[in-house]
Amino acid sequence: MNALRMVLAGFAGLVSAVLTEVGTGAWLAMAPADMDLTGNLFFAVVLPVVLVVHALMAVIFWKAFEPNPTRNPSIFVAAHLIFQMVELSNFGNPTGDLLAYATVILVSGVAVMGVFNRYIWCPTCARIGEA
């Protein structure tokens, strides 16, 4: 069962890489024309899309692995990072862009999965002030 969870978390990383690219293209197409999205690409486009994708996957992990979803986020974030880097390097993106994408994916993955782990997956962990 653990091996199946690991494979599914890896597959979710592959799906997330594709969703990130699709979401980025959609956001670039839908954004107002007067927004400077290319000058702030990673902050204005990639980060919001990756945050939404990671939140979506966290909800899916929460529902799919109901009894114990907390073992899979690191596998998922690593798989997302690997598949995203392979996808971007196949299109000839420079190393600086790859590192910027990697930073956004890691920061978003740790933040979103950490919040879900602390407040949603483990509600007893979030009880502040109780001894």
Read off the pLDDT of residues 79-128 as tens digits, 9 standing for 90 and up.
Answer: 999 999 999 999 888 999 999 999 999 999 999 988 888 777 776 665 55
How confident is the model over 15-68, as pLDDT tens digits? Answer: 999 999 999 999 888 988 888 777 788 888 899 999 999 999 988 888 887 766
Q: What are phi and psi of 128, to 5 degrees?
A: -90, 135
Q: What is the pTM of this model?
A: 0.84
- Spans of all domains in the chain: 2-126
Between the alpha carbon of residue 1 and those of residues 4, 7, 73, 129, the distances in Å are: 5, 10, 16, 36
Q: In angstroms, rounded to a whole number, what is the distance separating the alpha carbons of residues 124 and 92?
A: 46
